[in-house]
Amino acid sequence: MTEPVALQNHGTVRAFYQVLANTAIANVTSSYLWWALTFWAYLETRSVLATAIIGGSYMLLVAVFGVVFGVIVDRTKKKAVMVLSSMITLVTYLLAGALYLSFPESVLVNWGGPWFWVFAGVILVGGVVENLRNIALSTTVTLLVPSDRRDRANGLVGAVQGIAFMVTSVFSGLSIGLLGMGWTVVIAIVATALALCHLFFVPIPERGIAHVEGAPKDFGFRGVIPAIVVVPGLLALILFSTFNNLVGGVFMALMDPYGLTLFSVEVWGVVLGVTSIGFILGGALVAKFGLGKNPVRTMLLVNIGIALLGMTFAIREWWWLYGLGILVFMCLMPIAEAAEQTIIQRVVPFEKQGRVFGFAASIESAAAPLSSFLIGPLAQFWLIPFMNTRAGQDSLGWLLGPGEARGIALAFVAASAVLLVVVLLAFVSKPYRRLSSAYAEAPPSIQAQGEAASADGSTPEMEVTHLPSTR
């Protein structure tokens, strides 16, 4: 096994908490503006298609740049990666502010014209670059947290993301409803600048950059695929998560339009904020109890719960049923995320984890735009009109009940039913058994030697640590 790049001790764990807090600040800011853009776009255009394109474009860019981001993380010190991410985000938000000042809002809200998409695209780029920081955070868990605490650390990551989601969803709705898009952009610029300043004072005690002798120097897939296929069942895990995101694209495109059908924008933001307590609860459960001996099994069980939930939380147009469903959904999501991250952190060597996380983000995210781009026009031009007709009500009214958003509910039920079938098949598959065995047989930590060596608490600096090839 390879030598650690950072030596783990109590000091590095404290550093992880500081990194996590700073990432929370950055995530709050990017999520705040992203949610605000989605609310603003739907309220001004009343187009499900426009919001589907915006959401799908975000996931598509994450997919395109995931591997590149992962390689950057592997070949750069983690703090430098986070600083770079914050700086690019700040520049894009400044550009969005300049665009808002340069054109009347009536021009920017015309989604048939170019400036709506330029304005949305600039904000979108700032949010996409934030994923560079998130990949770095996943590898920082391996770098700074002892192996027996990583699942709980991943739970804390989920809880912090839940707090960010709760704060931003409330503030985004209130901001668009009370202040408008212009002041919302100004707030995002100021918050991003403050987060960047704070980051300069956040320590990440990293001894150097890990390299594998003979590893390829390009930014493609050559160094990624071997690191994945060498672990039995890991590729199947990523493909399963990819399919999960394919179904998730349906929810990504339609959850906001459905919510804005039931609530005003101010109330919908509050509903998202309150229900995002589920993120905190789910992350806290993982932080407290871990993921059990087999995180692979835990992840599949969670996805069964998600599928059953998706089939029921919109079968009637009741605001409390939808709100309760979102609460449970958000409680389950950080558990599934923590399971996947914990598996990769254990079975993949540290020096390759950035590109593996990036590759997983790429192909998993590529699925959501496909379904989002498909379901947007499908819902807009077929499902919603069909369920508003007498024929639609006569054929499916017994299942979905009456209401103006029954077409969206039909999309939720159908996508969730497909997910349930796939999860049940995954449980009896050979890759599930192979990956479960690989996780159980993997060494507890690639950094066990470093933990023992760091008893004096020192973290001496070095420029580069060359690691022997594990091939």
So what's the pLDDT on residue 223?
A: 60
pLDDT beyond 50 at 450 = no
**Backbone angles phi and psi of 209, in degrees to 5:** -105, 125
284: CB partners within 8 A, 6+ apart: 155, 159
If you average pLDDT over residues 165-188, what whole number do you get?
A: 82
Residue pair 137/157 in contact (Cβ under 8 Å)? The answer is: yes
Nearest Cα to Cα of residue 301 among 187, 185, 455, 436: 436
Beta bridge partners of 467: 212
Q: Which residue has the higher pLDDT, 300 or 152?
A: 300
Q: Could you give the CA distance from residue 175 to residue 40 in angstroms, rounded to a whole number?
A: 10
pLDDT beyond 60 at 295 = yes
**Amino acid making up residue 274:** V
State the angle between helix axes of 319-347 and 430-441 in degrees (0 to 180), rounded to the nearest 10: 60
Q: Could you give the CA distance from residue 283 to residue 159 in angstroms, rounded to a whole number?
A: 4
Please report which confidence band the pLDDT of residue 93 belongs to, taking 50, 70 and 90 as the band edges. Answer: very high
**Amino acid making up residue 128:** V
Lowest-confidence segment of 45-54, 87-96, 143-152, 202-211 by average pLDDT: 202-211
So what's the pLDDT on residue 208?
A: 55
Nearest Cα to Cα of residue 50 among 107, 116, 104, 100: 116
Quote the longest CA-to-CA distance of the chain.
75
Q: Could you give the CA distance from residue 281 to residue 287 in angstroms, rounded to a whole number?
A: 10
Q: Could you give the CA distance from residue 5 to residue 337 in angstroms, rounded to a whole number?
A: 25
- What digits encode the pLDDT tens for the residues 300-356? 999 899 899 989 998 888 889 999 999 998 888 888 888 888 888 888 777 777 778
Helices and strands (H, E) in the chain, number of each type: 19, 2
If you average pLDDT over residues 54-63, what whole number do you get?
A: 74
Alpha carbon of 224 to those of 105, 215, 360, 399: distances in Å?
Answer: 45, 10, 10, 46
So what's the pLDDT on residue 466?
A: 36
Query: What integer best gives the mean pLDDT of the chain?
Result: 78
Residue pair 137/19 in contact (Cβ under 8 Å)? The answer is: yes
pLDDT beyond 60 at 378 = yes
So what's the pLDDT on residue 461?
A: 38
Q: Could you give the CA distance from residue 169 to residue 276 in angstroms, rounded to a whole number?
A: 8
pLDDT beyond 50 at 278 = yes
pLDDT beyond 50 at 453 = no
Q: Which residue has the higher pLDDT, 465 or 134?
A: 134
pTM (two decimals): 0.66
